[in-house]
Amino acid sequence: MHLQNNLKVQITLLVVLFSMLCSAQQPYKRTLKLMGSRFDITVVANDEAQGNASIAVAIAEITRIEKLISSWDPNSETSSINRNAGIKPVRVDTELFNLIERAIKISKLTDGAFDISYASMDRIWKFDGSMDVMPSEVEIMTSVAKVGFNNIVLDKNESTVFLKLEGMKIGFGGIGKGYAADKAKALLIAQGVPSGIINASGDMNTWGKQPNGSEWKVAITNPMNKNKVFALLPITDGAVVTSGNYEKFVNFNGKRYTHIIDPRSGYPSSGIISVTVFAPTAELADALATSVFVMGKEAGLDRINQLPKIECIIIDDRGVITKSKNIEIDKI
C-alpha cells in the first residue's frame, strides 16, 4: 500500500512536470509586409493560438496607423493636409496632431536636420545608378524651397494643421514605422503579452525578456561587410534603430553622396555610413538616427550626449567606430 501511494505521488509529479513543460512560454514569430516594409513580429506566449492572436492584434494596430499617416492614401488625413497646403487649415484626429507636434519638437531639437516637410523636396537625386551628372547648385536650392518645419502651423484648440506654402507636403517616412512599432508594443503590453520584439525594417522595439530569462540581444551589422555582425547588445524595454547608407550612394568628384538628404540644404549626407540609436521609443530613435546622419559625426554625437536615456554608435566611411559616452560595446 505504501509503495502504491509513492508510485501515485511520482506519477502525479511527472504529470504536473509534463504539463508545465507543455505550457512553457515560447516565442512565436511572423514576418510580413506592412507600411510598404518588412515587419518581423515576435511575441512570447503559452501556445501557438495565443501567440497568433497577439500577432494579429499587432498587425491590426500597425495597419490602423498606416491608414492614419499615409500620404499615398487619398482618403487619409495626411493627404488632406497636403492637398490643402497654402489654402486652409485641416482639422485632424488628436493622435495625428500630437504626432506632428512631436515631430516639430524633434526638428527644433536637431536644428532642422529632421523635418517631416522633407516630402516637399524635389527628387533630383537618383541612387539607382542612373545619375551621371551632379545636379546644379540652383537645382539643389530650388529642390528644398518648400521644405521647412517652421511653415507647419498647428492650432491645438481647433486641432488643425496648416501648411503655409502651396505645394508643400509632409510625410512620415522618417518616423512612421517607429511610431507604429511603439503603438503595437503598447497595445500588446496592455493586453498582457509579457515579452516580445517588433522589428519594423530595422526599427527594433522590445519589452520583457526571452523565455529563458535572458535579455533580448540586438545585432549591429558591420557596414563594411553586411554579412557580418561586429557587436551584440542587450536591450530591455526599449528601442534601437540602425540606419545605413552603404547601399544607396553616388560618387561625384571623388566624393561619396548618400541617399539620406539634408532637408535644409538639399545636399546628401556624407562621412557616415551607419548610425545606431538606442532610445525609450522607436519613434524617437528613428528620427534621431536620420538626424545624426545629416548633422554629421561631431555635431550628432554632441547632441546625443546631451539627451537623457539616448545612446548611439556611429561608423564613418573609414570604418571608424564612435560611440556616445554611456554605451559599452562588447565586440564579437
Same domain for 224 and 311, yes or no, is yes
Domain assignment of residue 232, given as a range: 215-323
Whether residue 150 is contained in a domain is answered as yes
Q: Per-residue pLDDT averaged across 300-305, rounded?
A: 94
For residue 89, what is the domain's CATH number?
1.10.3980.10
Looking at 163, 192, 227, the residue that finishes a domain is: 163
User: pLDDT tens digits for 71-85?
Assistant: 888 999 999 999 999
pLDDT at site 216: 87
CB atoms within 10 A of CB 312: 25
Hey, what's the cell of 93?
A: 484626429
- Residue 161 sits at the vertex; the CA angle it makes with 285 and 147, to the nearest 5 degrees, is 65
Whether residue 319 is contained in a domain is answered as yes
Number of domains in the chain: 2
Whether residue 89 is contained in a domain is answered as yes
Hey, what's the cell of 296?
A: 554629421
Q: SS3 for 311?
A: strand
Whether residue 288 is contained in a domain is answered as yes
Hey, what's the cell of 16?
A: 504536473
Whether residue 130 is contained in a domain is answered as yes
What average pLDDT does the structure give for the chain? Answer: 87
Whether residue 316 is contained in a domain is answered as yes
Same domain for 225 and 288, yes or no, is yes
Same domain for 231 and 311, yes or no, is yes
DSSP letter for 326, please. Answer: T
pLDDT at site 113: 95
Same domain for 232 and 150, yes or no, is no
Q: Is the Cα torsion angle 72, 74, 78, 80 positive or negative in sign?
A: positive
CB 235 within 8 A of CB 216: yes
Whether residue 256 is contained in a domain is answered as yes
CB 312 within 8 A of CB 304: yes
Distance of CA 215 to the CA centre of its chain: 20
Hey, what's the cell of 308?
A: 537623457
Per-residue pLDDT at 304 exceeds 60: yes
For residue 270, what is the domain's CATH number?
3.10.520.10
The fraction of the chain above a pLDDT of 90, given in percent, is: 64
Whether residue 25 is contained in a domain is answered as no
Same domain for 314 and 239, yes or no, is yes
User: pLDDT tens digits for 92-105?
Assistant: 999 999 999 999 99
Looking at 120, 140, 163, the residue that finishes a domain is: 163
Q: Per-residue pLDDT averaged across 231-245, rounded?
A: 82
Angstrom distance (rounded) from CA 220 to CA 201: 14
Looking at 142, 163, 184, the residue that finishes a domain is: 163
pLDDT at site 86: 97
